[in-house]
Amino acid sequence: MATATLTQERENYLNQSYGIKSWLLTTDHKRIALLYLVSITFFFFIGGFFALLIRLELLTPAGDLVLADTYNKLFSMHGQVMIFFFLIPSIPAVLGNFLVPLMIGAKDLAFPRINLLSWYLYIIAGLTYIHCMLTGGVDTGWTFYTPFSTAFSNTKVIEAGLAIFVAGFSSILTGLNFVVTIHRMRAPGMTWTRLPLFIWAHYATSIIQLLGTPVLAVTLVLVVLERALHLGIFDPARGGDPLLFQHLFWFYSHPAVYIMILPAMGVVTEIVPCFSRKRIFGYKFVAMSSIAIAVFGFLVWAHHMFVAGISLYSALIFSMLSYMVAVPSAIKVFNWTATMYKGSISFSTPMLYAFGFIGLFTMGGLTGLFLACLGIDPHVHDTYFVIAHFHYIMVGGAVMGYLGGMHFWWPKISGRMYPEGWGRLAALIVFVGFNLTFFPQFVLGYLGMPRRYWDYSHSPEFQVLNVLSTAGASVLGVGYVLPMVYFLWSMRYGKPASDNPWNAAGLEWQTTSPPPTFNFEETPMVNFEAYDYEHIPEPEVAVER
């Protein structure tokens, strides 16, 4: 029965069975989501540790903290860990896995065992990468440019490449699962236009994962073969073409950034209506903008290569297309803002993260206009301007979206409330720390500091901005540690959550917190539109004090 006393815990997916086997052999999408949560958090802190060392080294112009080769490994592995082992899985594998079946009224994903396989592939990839790190690491940059990676680097390129290859299959299978689930397992009455926009965002993300990741996979295979057998596919000394590598690499790696941002946009699109008590403004436009980003995202890859040696005319076309892909993102920002108009707004932690996302994503996105511009890119390409741009989107955008989503759905996932005061404080610290870390880097980049520089003693004028950036990074680090601490705390001491503490719309809130293993007592029948806040009363207390 739905009602239960506090002294007698209802059966839910967490307490339904105990023991390590019940977790490691689970096919319950919710448990798999938690397995991913633990794994990606682990890698987040590894990547974060590398970032800390990088920022410490850059406090002074001289390379005096670590050796040059070590620094080169640090930034390479920071990038690879953060992108392949944290950002790409993060929202889809944790929040997506947990919520996609719940939001559409299904009992599980279409292929639960493949879902578990996804996680095991991720773990195999992760362990391989850890072994690579412990036995020397890799120093090619996350981009593996040839011929440096195939013929000059003395580090574990093959092992890193293989680890990322396996991680790619984890990503592909997750995407495959989501697409089939969304197509075939929606509850009766859940038409496409009644789907939460979180689902649309994950659908678009999954399309990219399916079509883009295999190209990275085959490119890594060719890099590994070339390095192992001294072939001449990408190495000009043996008759190959290094630009071919770059085209193949960026054909995936550009859409990959949309894999990283679209889910976060989906999260924000759930949070803003809830804490404005209003339906989203322009549902169809927001849904279509996700699809447009996925499609156009495949057409712009060579904007990473404007000064790489491509032809003038290629550059023109890719620049123009890059401006077109900016439009759907802009539409989303306007729609979120318009949703707040004449709303009834409260400032819960998820909403604070959503505000942070909108602000920082807007800034990051606007700086993308600089990079897409053929007049500006030759100056700022491969400088700290680019680093600032993508961190604004990946960290200011995707990570804040992830944290906002974790706070929003934490009651559903754990059955507990996190401490709201600490939540808001952490959100503020993250926002301030983030801006202090990365805004100076825009200026630094325009001044000309190239990226991937271990030592800048020839240019001491770069120091002040680097010091500011490192100071910000220490603040940002605190902001990230806090949620980990209080989420863990809340699992034992947090206030038990009701089924729908936010009075939010969405099928996931119609079941218990935490949900039972089968998600719903009875299959839901959907006869209402998405974001039906008109018919949902406001919560008694807006947010927990």
Partner 1 sequence: MSDSPIAVEPHGPELHGPELHGPELRHHFADVEQQRDAASLGMWLFLATEIMFFGGMFCAYLVYRYWHFHEFAAGSRSLDIYLGTINTAVLICSSLTVALGVRAAQMGKQKLLVVYLLLTLVFGLAFLGIKGKEWYDKYKEHHIPGASFNADDIVKEYPQIPINQQSEQTYFSLYFAMTGLHALHMVIGVGLFSVIAYLAMKGRYNSHYYTPVENAGLYWHFVDIVWIYLFPLLYLIDRKPLK
Partner 2 sequence: MFENFPLWPARASTTAGQVDALYIFLVALSAVMSITIFTMILYFAARYRRRQGVAAEQIEGSTPLEVTWSVFPLVIFMVIFAWGMVIYFHERTPPQDATEVYVVAKQWMWKLQHEEGQREINQLHVPVGRDIKLIMTSQDVIHSFFVPAFRLKQDVLPGRYTTLWFRATKPGTYHLFCSQYCGTQHSGMVGQIVVMEPAQYQAWLAGGIAGAPLAETGAGLFQQLGCSTCHRSDTQGRGPNLVGVFGKKVLLEDGRTVVADEDYIRESILAPTAKIVSGFKPIMPVFQGLVSEEQLNALVAYVKSLGQAAPGARPGIPAAVQPAQPKVQ
DSSP-assigned beta bridge partners for residue 496: 416
Among residue numbers 75 through 114, which ones bind partner 1 (CB under 8 A)? 106-112
Residue 303 in tokens: 């904007």
Nearest one of 201, 37, 107 to 507, comparing CA atoms: 107
Q: Which does 107 bind (CB under 5 to 8 A by kind): partner 1, partner 2, none?
A: partner 1
Among residue numbers 56 through 75, which ones bind partner 2 (CB under 8 A)? 63, 68-69, 72
Among residue numbers 217 through 246, which ones bind partner 2 (CB under 8 A)? 236-237, 241-243
Tell me how far apart the alpha carbons of residues 423 and 383 are, in angstroms, rounded to a whole number. 34
Residue 104 beta carbon to partner 1: minimum distance, rounded to whole angstroms = 12
The residue range among 92-100, 216-224, 311-319, 343-351 that interacts with partner 1, by the rule CB under 8 A, is 216-224
Q: Which does 422 bind (CB under 5 to 8 A by kind): partner 1, partner 2, none?
A: none
Among residue numbers 318 through 377, which ones bind partner 1 (CB under 8 A)? none
Among residue numbers 118 through 157, which ones bind partner 2 (CB under 8 A)? 139, 141, 145, 147-148, 152-153
Does position 10 bind partner 2 by CB under 8 A? Answer: no
Question: Helices 463-493 & 29-57, crossing angle to 10 degrees?
Answer: 150
Tell me, by CB under 8 A, how many residues bind partner 1. Answer: 52
Does position 27 bind partner 1 by CB under 8 A? Answer: yes
Whether the Cβ atoms of residue 99 and residue 138 lie closer than 8 Å to each other: no
Residue 431 beta carbon to partner 2: minimum distance, rounded to whole angstroms = 12
Whether the Cβ atoms of residue 189 and residue 525 lie closer than 8 Å to each other: yes
State the Cα angle at 416 between 411 and 419, rounded to 5°.
95
Does position 314 bind partner 1 by CB under 8 A? Answer: no
Tell me how far apart the alpha carbons of residues 346 and 343 are, in angstroms, rounded to a whole number. 10
Whether the Cβ atoms of residue 482 and residue 427 lie closer than 8 Å to each other: no
Cβ burial, residue 516 (10 Å; 0-12/13-18/19+)? middle
State the Cα angle at 497 between 112 and 348, rounded to 5°.
100
Does position 319 bind partner 2 by CB under 8 A? Answer: yes
Residue 13 in tokens: 């997916």
If phi over 0 gives left and psi between -120 and 50 gives alpha, with beta otherwise, what is residue 230? left
Residue 257 beta carbon to partner 1: minimum distance, rounded to whole angstroms = 18
User: Which one of residues 24, 127, 228, 330 is an interface residue with partner 2 (CB under 8 A)?
Assistant: 330
Among residue numbers 229 through 258, which ones bind partner 1 (CB under 8 A)? 229-233, 238-241, 244, 248, 251
The residue range among 28-36, 128-136, 175-183, 309-317 that interacts with partner 2, by the rule CB under 8 A, is 309-317
Decide whether 61 or 214 has the Cβ nearer to partner 1: 214
Does position 61 bind partner 1 by CB under 8 A? Answer: no
